[in-house]
Chains A and B, each alone.
Chain A
């Protein structure tokens, strides 16, 4: 668990603090997304966790211990760090890049090699093919994957990520985001993730912290942020189509009705989709109700516009 306790950081010559009295708790095993407009302090806050930046006042602690109690290098070797430019070392192979922290920690070479192969598999790259490649031989998406693998190399409990999927095309980014969600579901790391893209935040975050001008404006689950934005700024920031965004977060099971009144056998949607997909299908086929199918293809229920609207009338807990 990571705690920010009244943390402030001010840069000389600026009018307002970069981070202004930030207090925030990041539960263990969860992904917390720091998001906000440029200059809101999200990246600065992130870098205070691994002491690349030191706060002027307040404390940052990990599991109750002030991060300042640790020598900075030791601290950072226990925290994974993935940034936007990736920063792969061009004179090291992929394998050597990923192995940097394990080598700093003194692992034996055999263990490092095994771990590198494991991680490459985890991020979807063929270990044998990629281990000896150099960064300039990689595509943008491959480089970002290697960056994530490098951050995970020493199996740190905490991961800091600053727009790690920023420098690729939207299609690749979407794929990387989905894979991140899968990996995180398996590994359950404590992740602090910085982005300026609300869709990414909604997709990846267990919680979202919206920051503005150094201050924390709202800190809640994505559903609640979308449903109950704290003020006009947040409402504007999450975008005009927040209702649709909420739909993409809601599983179909929450608006499932018995399978009645289904006319078109093609107008179906798998059970593991979101209500947004169901709504899209309703509109696409011009039917009032769509069928919901399980993995085998059997129809197990239906969703209609009314059931969707009903579900959204219910307040969130």
Chain B
């Protein structure tokens, strides 16, 4: 590391944002019942002076560690500290939620307040910066990155966080939660699979035939431009008409509501990223290689199967990955047509004005998206170790 002198600006900035937010913004929000309006509590009231000072002093340590950029040791220390602060914030929230709730009655709900959120995000930026400098896949980088998630998972499993409003909502809906999560994954998987099959084909077509390039992209872009909800809305009528005309389809659940309009919409949405990346991936194959293949007597389809597609595959896979993550997010729309996805919690929470339920759905969705993204990135680098043209750059 060629670091040295001067202050570490990112750390200082994180502290400047994180410490005041922690002290001045609400740390917890207490409600008498799941739909009542909440009282926002600053940290002193929410967690008491001792814990407030403890958490605040962690930020002071960040400032101290940021006076100099320092070498590897400083970088690791800041990263671990950031991860630790996230875990500590969650732990303290969980620890104190029980007492706070007890004062407010039987049905009380305690949520994490804005101050804790901002402080945690500021701490996360320390983790991000640290991981980037250490190398995300290096042992230290992985340690810094996994510390907070591991701690939180441990807290969840041991029931440490059960007094938080979010977990109480979960307790209410546990079965549905896992069904909805599973369905979200299922919808996404089906949509992306179909979209990949169709999208790669369309990408090849557009690549081979210059005249078709514009119409193909134009069509696929139109699907992306139309708002998701509108797409679902547009599909409801035709699908229900079809299912009326051919009642046999109803047996499979195809109809105006249910999974059919959602999965169709999701598939159409997933197309653009895949078509675009297939096209780009095929274009990234060096023409010298293609010429060599032709010179050896390969036919067009042999070229495609044995040379162009394999070499373009990393870019294509990257498109599948982004598409999958997007689709997981889009799957929330299923809630509007009776599809059983995590979107139901989100919108139900919004409709009932129960923020914790909304949070539950959102966090689950985000976590799923992040996990799937990370797994696919690992698969991508493992499967495509060879050097190809057009490799994408660094990834978070």
Q: Which residues of A pack against B, CB within 8 Å?
A: 12-13
Q: CA separation between A60 and B4, bound complex, in Å?
A: 29
Q: Which residues of B pack against A, CB within 8 Å?
A: 2, 4
Q: CA separation between A35 and B2, bound complex, in Å?
A: 31
A-B contact pairs, 3 of them (CB 8 A): A12-B2, A12-B4, A13-B2
Q: CA separation between A13 and B1, bound complex, in Å?
A: 10
Q: CA separation between A3 and B359, bound complex, in Å?
A: 68
Q: CA separation between A13 and B2, bound complex, in Å?
A: 7
B2, closest chain A residue (CB):
A13
- Chain A positions within 8 Å of B4 at CB level: 12
B70 CB to nearest chain A CB (Å): 15
A117 CB to nearest chain B CB (Å): 43
Interface residue SS majority, chain A? loop
Q: CA separation between A175 and B378, bound complex, in Å?
A: 56
A48 CB to nearest chain B CB (Å): 23
Q: CA separation between A12 and B2, bound complex, in Å?
A: 8
- Chain B positions within 8 Å of A13 at CB level: 2
- Chain A positions within 8 Å of B2 at CB level: 12-13
Q: CA separation between A13 and B4, bound complex, in Å?
A: 11
B5, closest chain A residue (CB):
A12
- Chain B positions within 8 Å of A12 at CB level: 2, 4
Q: CA separation between A222 and B4, bound complex, in Å?
A: 45
B136 CB to nearest chain A CB (Å): 23
Q: CA separation between A12 and B4, bound complex, in Å?
A: 10
B74 CB to nearest chain A CB (Å): 18
Q: CA separation between A63 and B193, bound complex, in Å?
A: 72
A13, closest chain B residue (CB):
B2
Q: CA separation between A298 and B387, bound complex, in Å?
A: 69
Please list the 3 inter-chain residue pairs (A to B) with the smallest Cβ-Cβ separation, ordered nearest first: A13-B2, A12-B2, A12-B4
B72 CB to nearest chain A CB (Å): 15
A11 CB to nearest chain B CB (Å): 10
A12 CB to nearest chain B CB (Å): 6
A87 CB to nearest chain B CB (Å): 25
Q: CA separation between A55 and B167, bound complex, in Å?
A: 62
Q: CA separation between A196 and B4, bound complex, in Å?
A: 35
B277 CB to nearest chain A CB (Å): 29
Q: CA separation between A313 and B62, bound complex, in Å?
A: 76
B304 CB to nearest chain A CB (Å): 34
Q: CA separation between A258 and B2, bound complex, in Å?
A: 70
B4, closest chain A residue (CB):
A12
Q: CA separation between A12 and B5, bound complex, in Å?
A: 12
Q: CA separation between A12 and B3, bound complex, in Å?
A: 10
A317 CB to nearest chain B CB (Å): 51
Q: CA separation between A12 and B69, bound complex, in Å?
A: 15
A15 CB to nearest chain B CB (Å): 13
Q: CA separation between A76 and B4, bound complex, in Å?
A: 33
B2 CB to nearest chain A CB (Å): 5
